[in-house]
Amino acid sequence: MGTFIRQHLSPTVFILFSVRICLAQVVPAIFVFGDSSLDVGNNNYLLSLSRANFPPNGIDFGMPTGRFTNGRTIIDIVGKSYCQELGLKDFTPPYLAPTTVGERILHGVNYASGGGGILNRTGFFFVGRLSMDTQLDYFAHTRQDIISSIGALATSKLLAKSIFVVNMGANDFLNNYATQTTSTPRPETFGHALISLYRAQLTKNFSRECRTSWVHPLQREQYPSAGHDCIASQNHLASLFNTARLKPLVTELNANLEGSEFVYADVYNILLDIIENFKSYGFVNFDSACCHSAGRFGGLVGCVPESEICPNRSKFVFWDAYHPSEASNLIIAKRLMDGDLNDISPQNIRKLVQG
């Protein structure tokens, strides 16, 4: 991941939500695929440099769990806070945890992994991480375990009513494309290859029972000459990938995958709006890490036990050099639930709930 806080934002987020989610019937389960922004502890069980199972991470969660923030992730908030009355009474557990077995998997599993990407080679220097393909393989194992438990027909019904969240892609730019020093492909070439693989992954694995997916890349880089400003070239690349690749993919999937409804959620611009108008959201800081170790913005070192913590975590946009604070995640989750077409299109989650 990068170092300076404000300079480099996510190449995007789009969310694919079934019309069935959070309806009057109980949502039986949430299945989560992604990177560090949604990891709830899978990397705890890997030999990885990308881990958050130590304080002060999780300080507002009650303890460090492997979440890369001070409290809850966006999907924690959307999945539990907004849908709890419909049956989602607990947070989705990490797949690699030894306790994620038996009846617990009937309520969903989280496969997200810090450092993971759409491409298998992404994040290789972290050593241990779960790529998108690996996460999908693990989901296949989970599906078979559920079939063994409740039968094939009941499994199909359970998955058809479940929420699927896919949040992947940031590391493919930040910890793959941006780190290439020789034979670097043109951005258009890399973007085309990436979206082609992503299309295949989503189509193959979410075209039948699975109806819901959330994709959220996040990246920032260190460019000292930019000062407090965002890096125009990097943000242009992110924006281009959003508008030219991801948004059309949502339209394509909506047209081709019968029985599913896909929604594009522009978390890139939601977070940018929070940064540019931070005072109106009640923040006092928009460009520094609350968990601060070294560097002008606290971005030279990740959040470690020796880090200093800001006096009021709810007043900082970013928890560490890479991840939003729980306060920011609360705003993002709210705008995904109730935002207009600038935030999420063709409709927000609440309208899907009412639909």
| 77-94 residue pLDDT tens | 887 766 654 456 688 999
Flag whether 20 is in a domain.
no
Instruction: State the CATH number of the domain containing residue 235.
Output: 3.40.50
Residue 55 pLDDT > 50: yes
* CA-based torsion, 122, 126, 127, 132: positive or negative: negative
Residue 165 pLDDT > 70: yes
Q: How far apart are CA 45 and CA 221, in angstroms?
A: 28
Flag whether 107 is in a domain.
yes
| Catalytic position from the list 320, 325, 328, 343 | 320
Flag whether 46 is in a domain.
yes
Residue 330 pLDDT > 90: yes
Tell me if residue 338 is catalytic.
no
| Catalytic position from the list 10, 18, 36, 293 | 36
Tell me what pLDDT residue 226 has: 41
Residue 145 pLDDT > 70: yes
The DSSP call for residue 186 is P
Q: 36: Cβ–Cβ under 8 A, 6 or more apart, which residues?
A: 1, 43, 50, 52, 68, 112, 113, 114, 115, 322, 323
How confident is the model over 178-228, as pLDDT tens digits?
A: 666 556 666 667 777 888 888 888 777 766 555 544 444 433 333 333 444
Flag whether 247 is in a domain.
yes
Flag whether 327 is in a domain.
no
User: Which whole number is the average pLDDT over 118-127?
Assistant: 86
Range among 210-214, 233-237, 254-258 rated most confident: 254-258
User: Which whole number is the average pLDDT over 319-347?
Assistant: 90
Tell me what pLDDT residue 114 has: 94
Q: 53: Cβ–Cβ under 8 A, 6 or more apart, which residues?
A: 41, 43, 44, 64, 65, 66
Flag whether 173 is in a domain.
yes
Q: By the 8 A CB rule, do 49 and 127 touch?
A: yes
State the pLDDT confidence band at 15, using cuts at 50, 70 and 90: very low
Flag whether 293 is in a domain.
no
DSSP for 13-74, written as a single string: -EEE--TTTTSSS----EEEEESTTT-SSGGGGS-BS----STTTTTTTTS--S-SSSS--H
Tell me what pLDDT residue 45 has: 98
Higher pLDDT, 141 or 183: 141
Q: By the 8 A CB rule, do 27 and 21 touch?
A: yes
Among the ranges given (79-88, 243-252, 322-331), the one the predictor scored with the smallest mean pLDDT: 79-88
| Catalytic position from the list 18, 266, 323, 343 | 323
Q: How far apart are CA 243 and CA 240, in angstroms?
A: 5
Structural domain including 245 reads: 30-270
Tell me if residue 320 is catalytic.
yes
Tell me what pLDDT residue 209 has: 58
Flag whether 35 is in a domain.
yes
Tell me if residue 307 is catalytic.
no
Query: 326-331: long-range contacts (C-beta < 8 A, 24 or more apart)?
Result: 326/60, 326/69, 326/70, 326/71, 326/72, 327/282, 327/283, 328/271, 328/274, 329/69, 329/71, 329/72, 329/73, 329/74, 329/76, 329/77, 330/77, 331/270, 331/274, 331/281
Q: Give the total number of structural domains in the chain.
A: 1
